[in-house]
C-alpha cells in the first residue's frame, strides 16, 4: 500500500483504527514532496518541522481517544494567499516575499482546531490573477500528468499537490474559476462554494464581490468532510450569512434517480472546444441517464457576457484591494525622495506584469467618466447572468457543463496573449459572477491521457447536492 495514494477518507479511517499513525502518514507525504517538488514546483514553502509536531500531537490525541474531527492528523496544504501566523505567506508575489502574517485566516484557524497537519503552502498565480500559475513570481507549477503542461490556476499548486500525492486535502480560492479549472487540468475534485459559505477572513482579497474559499481533494467524499469543518458564519466576515451548515456527507450515497439535470446549449458548442472534451462529456451524459437522471436541454442566454463582465468587475475591485501594497503599509520598503517615488518604486518592483495590467484596467474603468460606462454597466449585465441561472433552476435541480473547453495547455502558451487566456474562463466565470456553487469532477482522459473535468452547478447553498452528484459520477466512473 502506498500511503500517499489513499484518499483523505481512507487515511482518516486507517488512522482512527490505529492501522497508521499520523506521524507515519506525515513522513510518507514529506518524503514524496522531497522527491518530487523540485520538478513540479507546487510548493512555495514547506513546514515539515511544524507538520511533525502537529502529527505527534494528533497521535497522542488518538491514543487517548480524543480525536478532534475526521480531519485530525491528516496531511494538508494551503494556497499561499491564505494567512498563516508565523509562516511566510507570499501570494506568489515579490511584493510579499518576506511577509509573515501576524494572524491566521479563519479557514486555517478552523482546520487547526480540527487537528490537521500542515505540510506547507502551495503556489498560485500572483495574487490569484491567472489561470496557469505562470504569473507566479516563483515560477509556474508543472502538471503531474505531463510536465510540459501547466497545472492550471490560480490554485495550480494546490491541484498539482493533490494529483501528485503531496497532501490529502488542500484549500484554494476561486474568484473566476481558480479551483475548478486547475482541478480539471489535474484530474482531481475541486469545489467552489457559494459566495459567503466559507469565511474569507485572512485570505488575501482579489475581487471582493467574487472571491470564495474552497477545497481541492481526491474525491467529492473528501471535499464533503473538509467543508463540514470550514463552512459557516464568521462575524469577522460580514458576507457569511448565519445559515445552517447541513451535513455535507449525508446525501453522498443517495441515488440520482429522478433528478433533473440541465444541459445548457451555450456550453456544448463544437466551435472552440476540444473534440475529446465533448466526447467524454457525452459519455458522462449517458452514465447519468443510466442512473435515472433526466437530462433537460436548457439555455443560459447571457453566458457570452460573463467573461467581459468578469474582466471589468474583477480588475476594478482588484485595483482598490491592491492599493494597500504600496511599500508603506505592505510591501518592500524602498527609499525615495517623495511619497510618489516610494509608491512607484515599491509597486514597480513588487508587482508582476499581469497584476499591473489588471490594476491599470481597473483604475481606468473606475475613473470619473468611465465608471458608468464600464463598472456600473457590468454590474447590471451581471444581474442578467444571475437571472439566467435563477430561471434555469426553476426547471432543473442542477446543471452539467465541461469545466474547461480544453485540457491542460503547454506552459508558455498562456500570457503571451492575455486576451486568449481571459477567454479560457468562459465556463467558470458565470458561476462566480452569480455566487452559486460549482464543483469540478474528473470524468475521463483525452487521447494523450490528459484529464478532463465536468462542472456541476447548483443553486447557492446547495453544496450538498453538488457533492452528491459529483460523488455518484466518481463512483460510477471508478467502478
Q: Does 425 bind ligand GLN (CB under 6 A)?
A: yes
Shortest gap between Cβ of 275 and ligand GLN (angstroms)?
Answer: 24
Binder among 8, 314, 392, 452 for ligand GLN (CB under 6 A) = 314
Q: How far is the CB of 340 from ligand GLN (least distance, A)?
A: 29
Pattern 150-179, binding to ligand GLN, x per CB under 6 A? ----x-------------------xxxxx-
Closest residue to ligand GLN in the complex (CB) = 178
By CB under 6 A, is residue 321 in contact with ligand GLN? no
Tell me the three cell numbers of residue 395: 426547471
- Beta carbon of residue 130, minimum distance to ligand GLN (angstroms, whole number): 5
List the one residue from 73, 75, 130, 430 that touches ligand GLN (CB under 6 A).
130
Q: For the chain, give me the number of helices (H) and strands (E)?
A: 15, 13
Residues whose CB is less than 8 angstroms from the CB of residue 62 and which lie 6 or more positions away in sequence, other chains included: 15, 16, 18, 21, 22, 72, 73
Cβ 241 to ligand GLN shortest distance, Å: 22
196 counts as binding ligand GLN under rule CB under 6 A? no
Q: Per rule CB under 6 A, is residue 109 in the interface with ligand GLN? A: no
115 touching ligand GLN, by CB under 6 A: no
Q: Which contacts qualify for 28-36: CB closer than 8 Å, 24 or more apart? A: 28/2, 28/3, 28/4, 29/3, 29/4, 29/75, 29/119, 29/165, 29/166, 29/167, 29/168, 30/119, 32/4, 32/164, 32/165, 32/166, 33/119, 33/120, 33/166, 36/164, 36/166
Residue 337 DSSP one-character state: S
Instruction: Rule CB under 6 A: choose which of 9, 128, 199, 471 binds ligand GLN.
Output: 128
CA 269 to chain centre: 25
Largest CA distance in the chain: 71
Is 129 a binder of ligand GLN (CB under 6 A)? yes
Q: Does 131 bind ligand GLN (CB under 6 A)?
A: yes
Instruction: Give the residue numbers marked as catalytic.
Output: 79, 154, 178
Residue 312 backbone phi and psi in degrees, to 5 = -105, -55
Interface positions, 200-219, toward ligand GLN (CB under 6 A): 206
- Cβ-based nearer residue to ligand GLN, 128 or 434: 128
Residues forming contacts to ligand GLN in the complex (CB under 6 A) are 128-131, 154, 174-178, 206, 314, 425
Amino acid at each position: 500500500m502506498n500511503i500517499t495514494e489513499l484518499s483523505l477518507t481512507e487515511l482518516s479511517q486507517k488512522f482512527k483504527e490505529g492501522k497508521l499513525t499520523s506521524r507515519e502518514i506525515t513522513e510518507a507525504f514529506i518524503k514524496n514532496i522531497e522527491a518530487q517538488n523540485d520538478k513540479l514546483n507546487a510548493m512555495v514553502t514547506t513546514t515539515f518541522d511544524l507538520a511533525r509536531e502537529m502529527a505527534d500531537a494528533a497521535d497522542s490525541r488518538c491514543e487517548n481517544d480524543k480525536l478532534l474531527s475526521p480531519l485530525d492528523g491528516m496531511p494538508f496544504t494551503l494556497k499561499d494567499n491564505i494567512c498563516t501566523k508565523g509562516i511566510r505567506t507570499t501570494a506568489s508575489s515579490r511584493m510579499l516575499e518576506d511577509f509573515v502574517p501576524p494572524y491566521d485566516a479563519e479557514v486555517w484557524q478552523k482546520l487547526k482546531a480540527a487537528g490537521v497537519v500542515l505540510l506547507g503552502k502551495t503556489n498560485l498565480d500572483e495574487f490569484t490573477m491567472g489561470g496557469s500559475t505562470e504569473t507566479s513570481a516563483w515560477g509556474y507549477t508543472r502538471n503531474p500528468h505531463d510536465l510540459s503542461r501547466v497545472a492550471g490556476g490560480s490554485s495550480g499548486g494546490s491541484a498539482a499537490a493533490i494529483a501528485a500525492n503531496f497532501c490529502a486535502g488542500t484549500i484554494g480560492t476561486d474568484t473566476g474559476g481558480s479551483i475548478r479549472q486547475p482541478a480539471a487540468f489535474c484530474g482531481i475534485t475541486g469545489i467552489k462554494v457559494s459566495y459567503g459559505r466559507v469565511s474569507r477572513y485572512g485570505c488575501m482579497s482579489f475581487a471582493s464581490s467574487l472571491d470564495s474559499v474552497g477545497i481541492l481533494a481526491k474525491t467529492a467524499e473528501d471535499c464533503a468532510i473538509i467543508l463540514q469543518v470550514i463552512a459557516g458564519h464568521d462575524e469577522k466576515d460580514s458576507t457569511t450569512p448565519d445559515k445552517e451548515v447541513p451535513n455535507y456527507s449525508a446525501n453522498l450515497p443517495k441515488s440520482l434517480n429522478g433528478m433533473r439535470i440541465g444541459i445548457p446549449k451555450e456550453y456544448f458548442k463544437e466551435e472552440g472546444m476540444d473534440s475529446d472534451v465533448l466526447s467524454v462529456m457525452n459519455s458522462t451524459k449517458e452514465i447519468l441517464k443510466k442512473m435515472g437522471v433526466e437530462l433537460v436541454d436548457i439555455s443560459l442566454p447571457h453566458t457570452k457576457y460573463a467573461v467581459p463582465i468578469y474582466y471589468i468587475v474583477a480588475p476594478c475591485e482588484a485595483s482598490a484591494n491592491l492599493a494597500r501594497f504600496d511599500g508603506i503599509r505592505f510591501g518592500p520598503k524602498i527609499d525615495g525622495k517623495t511619497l510618489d517615488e516610494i509608491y512607484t518604486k515599491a509597486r514597480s518592483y513588487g508587482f508582476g506584469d499581469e497584476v499591473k495590467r489588471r490594476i491599470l484596467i481597473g483604475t481606468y474603468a473606475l475613473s470619473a467618466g468611465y465608471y458608468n460606462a464600464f463598472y456600473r454597466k457590468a454590474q447590471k449585465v451581471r444581474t442578467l447572468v444571475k437571472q439566467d441561472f435563477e430561471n434555469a433552476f426553476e426547471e432543473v435541480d442542477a446543471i452539467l457543463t465541461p469545466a474547461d473547453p480544453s485540457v491542460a495547455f503547454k506552459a508558455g502558451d498562456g500570457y503571451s496573449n492575455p486576451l486568449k487566456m481571459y477567454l479560457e474562463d468562459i465556463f467558470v466565470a458565470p458561476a462566480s459572477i452569480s455566487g452559486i456553487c460549482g464543483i469540478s469532477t474528473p470524468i475521463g482522459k483525452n487521447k494523450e491521457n490528459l484529464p478532463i473535468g465536468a462542472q456541476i452547478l447548483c443553486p447557492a447553498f446547495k453544496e450538498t447536492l453538488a457533492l452528491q452528484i459529483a460523488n455518484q459520477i466518481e463512483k460510477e466512473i471508478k467502478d
